[in-house]
Amino acid sequence: MYMKSFVLLVLTLFVSKISTEYCYYRHGKESNGSYIECELAGTGEPIEGISLMHLERNTTISILKRELLAPFPNLKTLFMTAANIRKIEPDAFTNLTLVMVDLYNNKLEVLRRGTFSGQKKISYMDLSYNYFKNLTAATFSGLIGLEWLSLNANQIGLIESSALNDLVKLKSLYLRYNKIPNLHVDTFKKLVALEILDLSMNNLKTISAGLLSNQGQLYTLLLDFNALENITDGAFDKTIALTYLDVSNNRLRELPEDLFNNTNRLEVLRASNNQIRAFNYTILLSKTSFLREVLLYNNS
């Protein structure tokens, strides 16, 4: 009984601590004179003490400038979702040491080189539901500590071969629901820590042999709802930790059992809704002793 109320009290204190930071965007003329106002309800803490900024939805910031964030030198966590941000000035985060950046559901199309230079502590970034079309070497330059990145539901049609090269610590990459037609063989070359890769709902036609050659830690690979016609022999030879593979809802005519020669830890294989003509479970099982689910319905 005592224990319970103690836990409850600690929880309440914790929740009230993180929920007392209220931030509002106050409009000036055009974007001149606009500012962000935060209050720490019930404490005398100065405004510079703010480390978590969670802006109200439906603001119209349009351009994220250094002046807006400069009053908050301790800022570590930035949530600005559905704020209509179109642009981030390259010096907007200068002198801040950010850890989490959530810009979900804005109108961003480009990040200029330098935007994240020096931001080695950012480990989490959500850029889903924006307007990115083209990821270049400039887009993510400097994000050498990033572990989790979502770019779901943008309009990405091009990823330059070196665009992701700084993301050497990235573990989870979400690219679901974009328009990616193909991937250069070097796209993921530097992403040696990658564990989860979601490429579902794109326009990929093939997976080339070298694309995942440095992904020895990858355990979840989602390729469903693309236009895959074939997967090149050897494509999964280096993904030895793979446990979950989804290639359903594509146009695969065959799924050679040899693809799984080295993915001995595979547990789930989903390949329904393709045009696969023949598949030998006996061979698959001889390579994958942990297999517990195979879906192959709606095939030829």
Ligand X SMILES: *[C@@H]1O[C@H](CO)[C@@H](O)[C@H](O)[C@H]1NC(C)=O
29 binds ligand X (CB under 6 A): yes
161 binds ligand X (CB under 6 A): no
Stretch that binds ligand X, among 16-24, 27-35, 124-132, 183-191 (CB under 6 A): 27-35
Candidates 63, 158, 192, 284; binder of ligand X (CB under 6 A) is 158
Give the position of tokens 């989602």.
Answer: 222
Candidates 62, 77, 94, 220; binder of ligand X (CB under 6 A) is 94
Structure tokens at 104: 């979900």
Hey, which residues between 192 and 221 contact ligand X (CB under 6 A)?
206
Degrees (nearest 5) of the Cα angle 148, 146, 39? 85
95 binds ligand X (CB under 6 A): yes
Q: What single string gives the DSSP state of each residue in 151-197? A: --SS---EE-TTTTTT-TT--EEE--SS------TTTTTT-TT--EE
Q: What single string gives the DSSP state of each residue in 98-167? A: -SEEE--SS------TTTTTT-TT--EEE--SS---EE-TTTTTT-TT--EEE--SS---EE-TTTTTT-
Closest contact distance (angstroms) between CB of 262 and ligand X is 8
Closest contact distance (angstroms) between CB of 258 and ligand X is 4
Q: Tell me if 94 sits within 8 A of 66, measured CB to CB.
A: yes
Q: Tell me if 166 sits within 8 A of 141, measured CB to CB.
A: yes
258 binds ligand X (CB under 6 A): yes
Q: Of 16 and 95, which has the nearer Cβ to ligand X?
A: 95
182 binds ligand X (CB under 6 A): no
48 binds ligand X (CB under 6 A): no
117 binds ligand X (CB under 6 A): no
Give the position of tokens 């930035």.
Answer: 78
Question: How many residues form the binding site for ligand X (CB under 6 A)?
Answer: 22
Distance CA 248, CA 226 (A): 9
Stretch that binds ligand X, among 118-126, 181-189, 193-201, 280-288 (CB under 6 A): 280-288
Sites of contact with ligand X (CB under 6 A): 29-30, 32, 57-58, 66, 91, 94-95, 134, 136, 158, 206, 229-230, 232-233, 258, 261, 280, 282-283
